Each structure stands twice: as C-alpha cells, then as structure tokens.
C-alpha cells in the first residue's frame, strides 16, 4: 500500500533554477494538497485541487505553480527558486472535497534546499 508517494525526497537547487516536485496517490482520492513546513511556522497550505483539472490557491501560493495531471498526480513547480523556498514540502490527499472534514493522508515529504 503505497498511499501518497513524493519524489524527489531531497533536492538542492541554486537560486533561479526551476524544478518540479511530483506527487502521486493510489487511493482513488479526489482531493490533493501541497503544504510546506518550516521551523517555527507549522504547516501552511500552498495549493490544493478538489478534482482533476481544478486547482486553487492556499495560504502561501506565491512563487509556485501546480498541475493536476490526472486523478492520481498533483505536481508542484518552482519556476525560479529562491532561498525563502527552502522548506520541507508535503503532498496530501483526501477522499472527499477539501472541506477539512476529511482525514488527510500525507506523503513522506520532500526536503528542498535553495542556495
């Protein structure tokens, strides 16, 4: 049971480089989310997707783009990485709509360092 799979687990970028974080879930969940976790800040929602083909901004969307490629996959792209985007990124999914009434299943995280 893979659940939510994130790749890569670790990445080091230079300022200005671009990269895409990949997320896939095999639970047939409808909703998917991207969070970032920073020391002393807790987890903050970047973007979410209620269904295939739809995406919406969360609390901290600036500097990021997302794609809900299909029901299984939700990618997060950094077009021009900045040191402020150094963080641990978590992908999550839930069966129902993103109303918060669902149990979220989280991936193991992707640790990104921007130099």
Q: Which residues contact another protein (rule: CB under 8 A)?
A: 4, 40-45, 48, 56, 58-59, 90, 92, 98-101, 103-109
Nearer to another protein, 1 or 99 (CB): 99
Nearer to another protein, 17 or 22 (CB): 22
Residue 16 C-beta: closest distance to another protein, Å? 28
Nearer to another protein, 12 or 16 (CB): 12
Do 56 and 50 touch, CB atoms closer than 8 A?
A: yes
Residue 36 C-beta: closest distance to another protein, Å? 11
Spatial distance between the Cα atoms of 26 and 106, rounded to a whole number of angstroms? 12
Nearer to another protein, 16 or 96 (CB): 96
Residue 37 C-beta: closest distance to another protein, Å? 8
């Amino acid at each position: 049971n893979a659940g939510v799979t994130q790749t890569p687990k670790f990445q080091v970028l230079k300022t200005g480089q671009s990269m895409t974080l990949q997320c896939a879930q095999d639970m047939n969940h409808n909703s998917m989310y991207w969070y970032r976790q920073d020391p002393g800040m807790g987890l903050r929602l970047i973007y979410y997707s209620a269904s295939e083909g739809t995406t919406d901004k969360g609390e901290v969307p600036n500097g990021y783009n997302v794609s809900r490629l299909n029901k299984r996959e939700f990618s997060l792209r950094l077009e021009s990485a900045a040191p402020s985007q150094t963080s641990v990124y978590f992908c999550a999914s839930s069966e129902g709509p993103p109303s918060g009434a669902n149990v979220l299943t989280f991936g193991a995280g992707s640790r990104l360092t921007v130099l």
